[in-house]
Amino acid sequence: MAQNIYDNPDFFAGYSQLPRQVHGLDAAPEWPAIRALLPDVTGKRIADLGCGFGWASRWFREQGAASILGIDLSRNMIERARADTTDAAIEYRIADLDMLELPKASFDLVYSALTFHYVRDFVRLSRMIHTALTAGGNLVFTIEHPIFMAATHPHWIQDEDGRRTWPVNGYSLEGERRTDWFAKGVLKHHRTLATTLNRLISAGFTLRQIKEFAPTPEQIEAMPELAEEMERPMMLLVSAHKN
């Protein structure tokens, strides 16, 4: 059974205050890079896996998508997502991605933001998504970059100048990672970059584009705290295709 930390009251209270949860997609610096990976969604049937508050689900509909199925493990997240729309073409459902089965060839796009690193069995999930996509369909997702994830033990150390450094600890040791973020012992699953990409290839996907997100100079000028993201990639963005 997955951990479901987003239903922990302390975690949820802290997470809900993040700028991207208060202000939505435009407060996520990686959003322009994700948008550049997305296909035209007009008329598309989309699954948003780990939909959270549903920001992306609502955006897809604004862009003309036919329907969205948003899936999330957390009742807190799904209740908030449901409260934020009256659109009958968006359905939100509580489910665990480690067990979810979607109907065969029923989606044109599967999207997921910052969720797959909570999933234990990425082999099963990749195969299931490939089966659920129509031929010509796309999978676009982001995860915490495995270098960033591997660095979470210890979260960071300071060098002599007090600057943060980002040691990669146990990068090749795949498996559980625990971190303290709004709550103690948040469980994630570390996989190397090669493992993540090779599992997609084994599931039948053609990789289209991979991005190791870094902010643009303009973004850093507008938000100087983003300069830290130049030290190591924090997020991995993947676009994959089903032939």
Distances in Å between the alpha carbon of 6 and those of 97, 98, 234?
Answer: 14, 16, 21
For ligand SAM, which residue has the nearest CB? 52
Q: Which amino acid would we find at residue 238?
A: V
DSSP 8-state assignment for residue 227: G
Q: Is 111 in the site for ligand SAM (CB under 6 A)?
A: no
**How far apart are the C-alpha atoms of 90 and 87, rounded to whole Å?**
6
Percentages (nearest 5) of helix, strand, coil residues in the chain: 35, 25, 40
CB of 8 to ligand SAM, least distance (A): 10
Work out the angle between the directed axes of helices 122-132 and 193-203 (0-180°, nearest 10).
40
Nearer to ligand SAM, 48 or 108 (CB): 48
Contact code string over 74-93 relative to ligand SAM, x by CB under 6 A: x--x----------------
By the 8 A CB rule, do 70 and 112 touch?
A: no
Q: Candidates 112-120, 164-172, 177-185, 198-206 — which segment interacts with ligand SAM by CB under 6 A?
A: 112-120
Q: Is 115 in the site for ligand SAM (CB under 6 A)?
A: yes
Q: Is 119 in the site for ligand SAM (CB under 6 A)?
A: yes
**By CB under 6 A, what part of segment 91-110 binds ligand SAM?**
96-98
Q: Is 114 in the site for ligand SAM (CB under 6 A)?
A: yes
Distances in Å between the alpha carbon of 232 and those of 84, 123, 226, 243?
Answer: 35, 26, 11, 33
CB of 57 to ligand SAM, least distance (A): 9
113, 149, 203, 214: residue in contact with ligand SAM (rule CB under 6 A): 113
CB of 171 to ligand SAM, least distance (A): 22
**By CB under 6 A, what part of segment 5-24 binds ligand SAM?**
6
Query: What number of helices (H) and strands (E) belong to the chain?
Result: 9, 11
Number of chain residues interacting with ligand SAM (CB under 6 A): 20
Q: Is 55 in the site for ligand SAM (CB under 6 A)?
A: yes
Cα 139 to chain centroid distance, Å, stands at: 12
**How far apart are the C-alpha atoms of 181 and 46, rounded to whole Å?**
30
**By CB under 6 A, what part of segment 127-186 binds ligand SAM?**
none
Strand partners, 154: none
- The contact set with ligand SAM (CB under 6 A) reads 2, 6, 50-53, 55, 71-74, 77, 96-98, 113-115, 118-119
